[in-house]
Amino acid sequence: MPYQKFAIVAAGDLGCLIAKSLLLEGANVLVISRPASSSGKNLPATVRPESSSGKSLPASIKVITVDYSDVPALTSTFKEHEIEVVISTLPARAIAQFQTGLGDAAKQGGVKLFVPSDFGFLPTPGRDANAMFTLKSQFAEHLKGIRLPFLRIFNGLFVTYVPWLLALESGKIQIIGKGDRNASFTHPTDVAGFLSHILTHLPTPELEDKEFRIEGEQGCLLDVARIYGPKYPVEHVQEYPEGLVGKSLGDYLQWLIEAGYGSVVPEGADASLSNHLWKGHVWKSIQEGLGLNILSQEELISKASA
């Protein structure tokens, strides 16, 4: 095992999944939460990476609270627990505020590898109008500047984000544009399991300053709409519906997919999926991740005419 002592920063749903997965691999896991953390409790369940995961952790995983803005305190924590790998699962709204200081503390605390909160789509140079994606790219450059080895994971859209992204709350499936461009969809449990597997099985040189691209399944938004069947009619719109949570982010993510940037391995890119590194694993499909049954064309016609 190349690394044995891990610290996961942010005790949200994805962070807890990663902690549990690492524990199953025999790792020593520390979870760092911040005092009075809401952990996304004010967000609808459909916007959370894995609303059914629960946030309870096994007793063997130690949880401590540290102010994320207190770099000396974080540094001391990493040193005290001899942390080798820091995994940031900070939510988007906290990346700008805390992640740079977290990286600095990791460097000062003797951490050997940093996994930033990149989980999601690839950055699109020159087209990142959304501040969150720009910040992620800038942070990667910061890690290079301070010479702290890093590992980045890109998994496309979390399958559990789909109900929110398609605005099911409106009673319809809202698609910006045609909805026929493919995107990568991955379930949070697969993301957590893959990361835990490579961190505990691959040699260090294959992890440092590397990017890994994974997906559970590739498909377009119209494919996803077909899984839902006639219960939610498809409406092609120019923008994400007003009044729904995360309108600006919804607009941007749907635009990314419609513009052809939804896949973690874009057409013509000199890159490939890293799924094969987790040998024997069966990745969850979009259908399985949503817990829905796919309907055949005949079944769709039958239901629509009933």
Token pair belonging to 148: 């702290």
pLDDT of residue 139: 94
- For the chain, the 3-state helix, strand and coil shares in percent, each to the nearest 5, are 40, 15, 45
- Domains, the chain, with CATH or none: 5-158+186-213 (3.40.50.720)
- Residue 221 structure tokens: 């938004």
Pairing of strands 85-88, 62-65: unpaired
Q: What is the pLDDT of residue 267?
A: 74
CA-wise closest residue to 13 among 90, 77, 69: 90
CB atoms within 10 A of CB 75: 19
E strand intervals along 180-227 = 183-186, 210-213, 217-219
Tokens of residue 3, six digits: 């690394």
- CB count within 10 Å of CB 60 equals 8
Degrees (nearest 5) of the Cα angle 227, 233, 239? Answer: 105
What local confidence, expressed as pLDDT, does residue 98 receive?
96
User: What's the pLDDT score for residue 37?
Assistant: 59
Q: What is the mean pLDDT of each run of 10 residues along the chain (306 residues)?
A: 95 93 97 73 37 65 96 98 98 91 98 97 68 84 97 97 94 96 97 98 98 97 95 93 84 91 82 94 96 56 42
Beta bridge partners of 31: 8, 63
What is the predicted pLDDT for the residue at 39? 46
Put residue 118 in one of left, alpha, beta given phi > 0 → left and psi -120 to 50 → alpha.
Answer: alpha
Q: How many residues does the chain have?
A: 306
Q: Provide DSSP, 39-74.
A: TTTTS-GGGSTTTTS-S---TTSEEEE--TT-HHHH
- In this prediction, residue 92 carries a pLDDT of 84
CA distance 250 to 257: 11
Nearest to 27 by CA among 93, 83, 80: 83
pLDDT tens per residue across span 238-262: 988 888 888 888 888 999 999 999 9
pTM of the complete model beyond 0.85: yes
pLDDT at 31 (0 to 100)? 97
* Strand (E) or helix (H) holding 135: helix 131-145
Cα–Cα–Cα angle for 156, 160, 162, rounded to 5 degrees: 75
